Structure 1
C-alpha cells in the first residue's frame, strides 16, 4: 500500500495467551474448504454490462488484467437464457431462467463459456456461476413438463413469486416459485447443476435466494457435486445452518449495512466494536462471510459507490478486505463505478480508466501474503484496539509469525488517536493505516 502501509520485518510474533479449557462439549470441527479458497477473494462479473459486446469472449480479454490485479474467484451472474413471458424491461432479469441447461445467446455459446473457464483456469483463477433454484421464468419448459414442481394458487395456477414477510411486500412478476416439498424436483435440480460442472468444468455456484430453498437439498447436492470435483459454494443468505455442510460462504449483509451507515455519519467505531464483540448471529467455526461494499443488487437498487460512500469509499473497502471474511469486488469498482447499472436493459460499464486498480491490487496482495488475514479458520480473529477516539477504529489480527494492524478514520474530519504504548497520531478524513509484522520465515513462504 502507498503511504498508509508500513511493513516491518520482525522475529516470530508471540501467539495469544490460551484461555483455560472448560468442561463444555468440544466445538464442532470447522468445515474444510477447498485449498484454493483459503486466502482467496471473489469478483462478480455482469457479462451483459461488462463490455459493449456483452459476451463471454469479450469479457475473456479482461482476464489477464484481473489476474494482474490479484483476482482469484470469478462469479458470473446467471449464464442461462432469460424468460420472455412477463419479462421486465426489454432484456429481462438474469434471474428469470428459461432453461437451466442452456446458454443465453446474448452471451455466446456453451463452447464460448468452456473457453472462458479454460482460460481462467490457465491463469490460476476459478469460476463459479449464479444458480437460481427458488424460481424460474414463466416459460421455462418445466412449467409444462413438470407442473407439479411448482407452487400454485387456489385455482391450481402457477403465480408470481410473492413475499409479504418483510417491511414491504415484494412481487416478482417475471418469475414463478418452485415447490420444494416435491422430492422429484430435488433430482431435477441436482441434475441441472451437475450439467455445468461436467460440461463447463465450473468450480462451484453462487446460489440465489438460498435461504428459501430447503437446507437438506443443499446438503445433498453438495455431496453430489463434490463427487465430480471439489466445489466452492456461496449462498445469498445469512442462515448459520447453511454452513454446517452445504456452503463455504454466506453474505455479510451485516457489515455492508454498517459500512453504509458509517459513510453517512450514522455510525462510527463504536458500531464496529459492538459488532465484533457480539455479532447479530453466531456462525459455525470456519464459516466464510462475504464482505463487500457493493454487488449487482446494491449498485442497481441502492446506489452507486459515489452515492453510497462518497469520499468514504476506500476506507470502507479497506475494512471489507481486512475484517474476517472474503472480500468481494463488483466488476467496475476498480474503475470507480459512479453510476447505477440498469438491471433490465443494456447499460455497459463506462470503464474510462482503471483508477482504483492499484488500490485493489495492493489490498488483494495484502490478503494473499498475510496468513492473519486469510478466510475462516485459516486466518486470525480480530482484537479491537483502544484508540481513545470514537471516530477511529483499530484492530489487530495475529498468528504466530504474522500480524496485521488496521487503523481507519471513520469520519470526514481529521482525527487524533493514541494506541496503547504509542504517541498520539493523526489521520486525515477517511484515511487509514495498515501495519504488517512478519517474521522472515513467514515472509519467505
Structure 2
C-alpha cells in the first residue's frame, strides 16, 4: 500500500483550536494572534512550516504565506503571528515541508568547518546549484540574476571553495531564500476557523445602572425615572471613561407575585396589595403592558429608548441591554403559550428557585416544550432590539438554557449582524462557563469577584490568559447581586484595590453604580445581597454632593480608564504575566503589546488595612529586556518616576495609594516573547 503524500510529515498540537475544531477560535480586529504547531520528520533533514491564513470569503486552498519560526525551548514547536484586519470567519491551516535549502546549507557549513575541500564537496556544490536553479526559475526581476549568479559561482571550479559558496550564503540572498523557499513533501493540517469580532469584544469598560432610579426626588421621596432622566446621567458616565452603558431589563414588570423591598413577598401574591413604591424586579419580565419586545411605560416609549441609544453614541459609548429569557406570571407568553413553561402535578406553573431563595415572580422557560416556537420568538425579540440600535446583549443566566439553543441563536444573529456581542452572566460550574464560551458567547462573567488572595488571583489570571482563544473575561467588581465581603469590610482602600485589579488584569471590566460611592452594607451578615437592593426598589443617589465632598471614587475610576486607553498593553489578555515578589500580600504583573512596543507593570497591595513592603524579582525577558538591564518606570497614578531593574523595593500604604501602575520606558527596541495559546 502506498502512503498519501499529504501525510508525509508530522503535524500535531495545532493552536488555537477549540474542541478539536468543532467550534471557532476567537480574535478581534487588529489583534496579534499566535498560531503554533508541533512539526517534525524522520531523519536529520531540515523541516520548516508556514501558515496559510485565509480571509472571510477567500479561497481555502490558498492564502498569504506566513512563515513560522522555531519556538524555544521545545525543539519541534513552531509559531507565526497573524493580524486579522476585518470581522468575520477567517480560517487557517499549517503546512509542514522538507526544507532542502536549509539542509544543504547546514551540510556545507559543517563540512567546511571540518576542513573538507572542494573535491569532497563536489556533489554538495552541484546540489546547491540545482536548488538555486529552481529558485531562479520563479524569482522576480530584482533577484533572478543574483540567484543565478550564486548558482554559477557554485559551479565555477576555477575559484577557491570559499569564493564559490560565498554568494549563496550571503545574508541578503539568504533572507530572500527564507521568504521564497524550495518546499518539498508539503503536508497540510486540517483547516481551522477563527471568528474575528470587532475590537470591543476584547476591550472595554462597562458601567451598569438602573434608569428607573434616575428620577427626581420630590419632597424627600424618589420618583420613577425615565429614559429622559437617564440621559442626564450619561455625561458623567462618559466622563469616567466608560465605553458601555449596561441596562438591566427595561420591559414591563409583572404584578403577580411582585417582590417588594429587600425581596419581601406580598402575602398571596395579590396585586392589589402592591403599593406605588413597590416597583418590582426588572427581571420579572412581562405584564398586561407587554413582554420582551416592549418598554416599561414608566420609562417611556420605544422612541424614548432609541433617543437614549443615540445620546449614548454621541458621547462615545454604546448600550448593552439585558436579555433575560424568563417571564413573570402575567407575561403575555404565559396565556398565549402555556406549553412554554413547566407545569407541576398540581397544575400550577413552576417558578424559579435557587434554594433557599424563591422567585415566585419569575417563571423559567422550558425549552424542551415547543423548541421551534420558542427559538423563533427569541430570535424575533432580539432582532427588535438590534433594530433599535443595540449591538451588545448581557445574557442573564444562560447556563439554565440549552447549549444548542445558544449556539443556534448566536450564530443566527451573527449571520446577519456580525458586530453583535453577547456577554454570558453564568456564575456556575467551570465546565458550563467554558462551554458557553466555546459555542459562541463573546465574553463571560468570571470568578474574579471571589478571587482575593494572591495565589488564587495568579492561578485564575493564568487560566484565563491560556484560554483567551475562546473565552474572554469581563471583570465586574460588583453587581446588583454580588457585594463581596471584601468590599463589605475592606473600607475605601479595598474599592481602589479591586478596581485596579479588575481594570489592569482584564481588558474588559465593569462597575455597577454605587461602587463609586463605596456602597458596602449587606442585607444581613453572611449575605452578598445589598441592603435595600436596587433590584426591588428605586435607589436615587446624590452624585454631585458625593463628588463635591470628596466621597466619590469617580475621579479614580476616570484615571484608571484613561490609563487603559493610553496603553495598548492593557487592552490585551494573552500577554498577562505574573512576576515574583517576596510578600504574599503584594501582587505584581505585567502586560505588553508587541505592535506598539508598549509595556505596563502593575503592583498592588492586597491588604486594605496595612502598609505592605516587599522586593520584586522581575522576569525581565518578558519585558523584552536582558536580566542585567536597567529601565525607567513612571507611575501613572502618582506621576513619580524611578530607575528599576530586576530587584526593586516597594512600600504601599493602602490609605495613601494601594497600587503602582508603571508605564515602562524601554531602553531599546524590545523583542517581547510571543504570547502562546
Normalised by the length of structure 2, the TM-score is 0.56
Aligned residue in 2 for 1:60: 231
For residue 318 of structure 1, report the CA deviation from its aligned partner: 0.2
Q: SS where residue 174 of structure 1 aligns?
A: coil
Aligned residue in 1 for 2:363: 176
Distance in 2, Cα, partners of 1:81 & 1:304: 35
Aligned residue in 2 for 1:72: 243
Q: SS where residue 425 of structure 1 aligns?
A: strand
- Once the two structures are superposed, residues 388-427 of structure 1 have per-residue CA deviations (whole angstroms, 9 ceiling, x without a partner) of 1111111111222011111011122222211232342211
Q: SS where residue 62 of structure 1 aligns?
A: helix
Contact 1:393 1:410 in 2 (8 A): yes
Contact 2:321 2:392 in 1 (8 A): yes
Q: SS where residue 398 of structure 1 aligns?
A: strand
For residue 433 of structure 1, report the CA deviation from its aligned partner: 0.6
For residue 307 of structure 1, report the CA deviation from its aligned partner: 4.5
Distance in 1, Cα, partners of 2:573 & 2:585: 26
Matched, 1:298 2:523: no
Partner of residue 606 from structure 2, selected from 378, 399, 410: 410
- Once the two structures are superposed, residues 52-84 of structure 1 have per-residue CA deviations (whole angstroms, 9 ceiling, x without a partner) of 352211110122222222111111110000000
Aligned residue in 1 for 2:540: 348
Distance in 1, Cα, partners of 2:601 & 2:193: 28
Aligned residue in 1 for 2:343: 152
Contact 1:28 1:285 in 2 (8 A): no
Partner of residue 45 from structure 1, selected from 199, 209, 217: 209
For residue 347 of structure 1, report the CA deviation from its aligned partner: 2.4
Aligned residue in 2 for 1:11: none
Normalised by the length of structure 1, the TM-score is 0.83
Aligned residue in 2 for 1:435: 662
Give unpaired runs (5+ residues) of structure 2: 1-70, 79-93, 95-188, 217-223, 261-277, 428-432, 522-529, 618-645, 670-677
Q: Which moved more, 1:119-128 or 1:268-277?
A: 268-277
- Distance of aligned partners of 1:160 and 1:388 in 2 relative to their CA distance in 1, 3 Å threshold: same
Distance in 1, Cα, partners of 2:191 & 2:519: 43
Matched, 1:36 2:36: no
For residue 194 of structure 1, report the CA deviation from its aligned partner: 1.1
Give unpaired runs (5+ residues) of structure 1: 1-16, 260-267
- Distance of aligned partners of 1:317 and 1:51 in 2 relative to their CA distance in 1, 3 Å threshold: farther
Distance in 2, Cα, partners of 1:289 & 1:297: 18
- Once the two structures are superposed, residues 341-399 of structure 1 have per-residue CA deviations (whole angstroms, 9 ceiling, x without a partner) of 4331222224232322221111112222222211xxx4443211111111111111122
Aligned residue in 2 for 1:275: 460
Partner of residue 308 from structure 2, selected from 102, 113, 116: 116
Q: SS where residue 474 of structure 2 aligns?
A: strand
- Distance of aligned partners of 1:35 and 1:305 in 2 relative to their CA distance in 1, 3 Å threshold: same
Matched, 1:330 2:512: yes
For residue 228 of structure 1, report the CA deviation from its aligned partner: 4.0
The higher radius of gyration belongs to 2
Q: SS where residue 613 of structure 2 aligns?
A: strand
Distance in 2, Cα, partners of 1:308 & 1:80: 36
Matched, 1:316 2:543: no
Residues 386-405 of structure 1: matches in 2 within 5 Å? 386-400=580-594, 401-405=597-601
Partner of residue 451 from structure 2, selected from 249, 258, 263: 258
Aligned residue in 2 for 1:96: 284
Aligned residue in 1 for 2:128: none
For residue 310 of structure 1, report the CA deviation from its aligned partner: 4.5
Distance in 1, Cα, partners of 2:194 & 2:434: 13
Contact 1:304 1:338 in 2 (8 A): no
Distance in 2, Cα, partners of 1:345 & 1:304: 25
Contact 2:454 2:584 in 1 (8 A): yes
Q: Which moved more, 1:85-94 or 1:429-438?
A: 429-438
Aligned residue in 1 for 2:184: none
Distance in 2, Cα, partners of 1:278 & 1:101: 38
For residue 170 of structure 1, report the CA deviation from its aligned partner: 3.2
Q: SS where residue 57 of structure 1 aligns?
A: helix
Q: Which moved more, 1:393-402 or 1:138-147?
A: 393-402
Contact 2:254 2:329 in 1 (8 A): yes
